[in-house]
Structure 1
Amino acid sequence: MMELQNPNLKQRGRASLDFLAQMGMASAPVSQKVTAEINDRLDTDNLPDDLDEREAAIDNALSDSTAFATQRLMGDWHSRSHGRISWEAFEEIKPELQPVLDATTKGPASLVLDPALKLPAYWDGVHFHRTEGGWDAHEHMGYVHGEIIHKKMVARFFPGGIFKQRQNVAEMAPRDSYDRILDMGCSSGHFTTALAKTYPDAQITGVELSARMLEHAHRTANANGWNWKLYQRAAEDTGFDDGSFDLVASYILIHEIPADVVEQVFAEALRVLEPGGDMIMSDATRYADLDKLSVWKADRSAKYGGEPFWRETASLDLAEIARKVGFVDVTADGIYPHVVKGRKPE
């Protein structure tokens, strides 16, 4: 029987995903050429402060650049194609995998979906990462996203491992042990897994808007014998009682929501923490930590890569927001991921 978390892709699917990954790696020399042309044609220390004006200035300077045109075409094709190719790879192994998917719907974990949930406007109908149809496009989108897209393709672009980063963040929480942990925006359960491995005695709860992602997180927990409690709820409105947790955490959630909702999420984290409880939130690199050209690269990648809220959230001072809602002992460190920690006053 096939393992839930180690899909044995068929030759076609494996080759297609290998091509996607290799194409991403092959784009590096093209990107270097684009950077060299920008440095030759513009004074990068004096690029416009306004991001739209900066983009227009660079687009104009590169209007005749073959490398820039190639970079855009490669990026566009990759963004539009990765979801479809990954889904096709899943369909090839679905008959063999189905018994495992069925078996892991049962186990110690619990899952509460809310068919009546009114999805927030920032999420409903948005095709994040240009995934056609969004996170709930297909019945098994959670598996496709969690086990194929991330583990068979995205992980190759992160030196040291994309999941090692999640483990590192989980281990950054101030205490050695916790009793009740909330993972905000748990998605398909990758960071939840890191929390479970780091704090094996804790009761772990996860909230997430995507039903399909939650279903895969549920299967992941059952496959590993973990008693996670998973709910289809928004991170900014979890519905839990005040003081329900001693650690509230999230990994790379913030850039998926608007700036005003970010503050609501931090405020909700404070509310559901017990006095003296800890918060640890991580997200993408702050624009304040980058030079102007690097900001342009990140901003353009997000704009054309299906990240509608990246610019406004990457421009936020997350430590300031944490202090504003009431956290104390706030620290903010790291480039990627950028990690903010705080404590609820006693």
Structure 2
Amino acid sequence: MTVHMAKDRAAKDPVDLALRQRGRASVDFITLLRSAGRDVVAAATEAMETIVPDPSVLPEDLEARFREVEAALVNEPSYRTQKLTHEYHARMHGVVAREAFEQVRDLVEGKLRCLDDGPATLTLDPDFHAPDYWSGVDIHRTLGGWDGHEFQGFIHSEIIHKKMVAYMFGDLYGQRRDVAALAPNSSYERILDMGCSTGYFTVALAQLYPEARITGVDLSPRTLEQAHRLANANGWAWRLYQCAAEKTPFASGSFDLVTSYIMLHEMPEAAIVDLMGEAFRLLEPGGDLLFADVTRFSDMDRLQEWKADTAARFGGEPHWRASASLDLAALAASAGFTDAKTQNLGPNRYPHVLHARKA
């Protein structure tokens, strides 16, 4: 395994964000509500394992399994409480984050607009038509989706991610750096980050491969704008484009590393197949593919699979079930890649990482 040397400094935030008291209190409340639910989740999990001591007896069909487990847990207080708190968080986290931003908009808007200029470039397509699987879908049940507010990219990155998600799940960059370091070469010249969103994984790539020319693509103009600000704040000359990752405008053989981080589960199976083919086309011979996504259902027992599927069902993840059921190594091989192999990181086998090479 090649050892990569990351830069010592962390990525510089585009804007130092200090929420006003009411916004901070609302963000803290909804975050603590979800986090405090960990004890409830533990109790609910214990109840599930008591009711279903042998997951193999559950129905193979997920819909039948859902009905059976729900019926068994309907009167279990911890499970009902867990569903209530998670549902409230899913519905309200986007509302709370947007309201918190509006309270400080007068303090940060000018600073954000100053970051429109810098070494990074952003190309938005005014005639862009998003794929059907994206249009009208509020991913993660975020209010208005990724583009429902002029500064939704900033709201998602700096409030939802850094003040809610990070509190619940810890370091947002560490796991991404771990995944980026799995690429087998010590250096790359031309990297494409598919589904770059607001740029968290792109930061890991920039830190690990500082000499590389980095390109990012995403469907969302608002998240791309935030990635653009982040790059300019750090002096990175990223090239960012609004396009579908499975149908990019770049010439064949344009890159020596193509990546994505936790994007595949947002796509239906047909789009993932197209994505693999596009990644193969874009790589030069000898180039590497590095994709990370959610834990495979094949790595879970039937109760764990039900829990993951249920969380996705109520968490605004319409394609999770189909995507998590796919054998990514087999898909990569079908697209023409060689040496396709997968591995799981972390104690919960998350994320699931695919590496493959174009011969």
What is the TM-score normalised by the length of structure 1? Answer: 0.96
Residue 99 of structure 1, CA deviation: 2.0
Residue 6 of structure 1, CA deviation: 3.4
State which of 143, 148, 151 in structure 2 corresponds to 1:140: 151
Give runs of aligned pairs for residues 1-346 of structure 1, distance below 5 A: 4-42=14-52, 43-159=54-170, 161-334=171-344, 335-345=349-359
For 1:333 and 1:233, how far apart are their aligned partners in 2? 29
- Secondary structure of residue in 2 paired with 1:278: strand
Per-residue CA distance 1:284-315 (angstroms, 9 max, x = gap) = 11111111111111110000000000000011
Residue 33 of structure 1, CA deviation: 2.0
For 1:229 and 1:198, how far apart are their aligned partners in 2? 17
- Secondary structure of residue in 2 paired with 1:332: strand
Report if the CA contact (8 A) 1:4-1:97 is conserved: no
Residue 157 of structure 1, CA deviation: 2.3
Report if the CA contact (8 A) 1:6-1:147 is conserved: no
User: What stretches of structure 1 of length at least 5 have no aligned partner?
Assistant: none
For 2:114 and 2:252, how far apart are their aligned partners in 1? 35
Per-residue CA distance 1:217-268 (angstroms, 9 max, x = gap) = 1111111111111100000001110000010001001000001111111110
Report if the CA contact (8 A) 1:140-1:212 is conserved: yes
The CA RMSD over aligned residues, in Å, is 1.3
For 1:259 and 1:157, how far apart are their aligned partners in 2? 30
For 1:145 and 1:56, how far apart are their aligned partners in 2? 34
Q: 1:256 to 1:3 in 2, by over 3 A?
A: closer
Per-residue CA distance 1:157-191 (angstroms, 9 max, x = gap) = 224x1211111111111111111000000001111
Per-residue CA distance 1:104-163 (angstroms, 9 max, x = gap) = 00011111101111110000110100012111000000000111111111012224x121
For 2:109 and 2:143, how far apart are their aligned partners in 1? 23
Residue 86 of structure 1, CA deviation: 0.6
Residue 274 of structure 1, CA deviation: 0.5
Point out the more displaced range, 318-327 or 59-68: 59-68
User: What stretches of structure 2 of length at least 5 have no aligned partner?
Assistant: 1-11
Residue 331 of structure 1, CA deviation: 1.4
Residue 37 of structure 1, CA deviation: 2.1
Report if the CA contact (8 A) 1:80-1:130 is conserved: yes
Residue 5 of structure 1, CA deviation: 4.3
For 1:106 and 1:238, how far apart are their aligned partners in 2? 25
Identity of aligned residues (%): 50
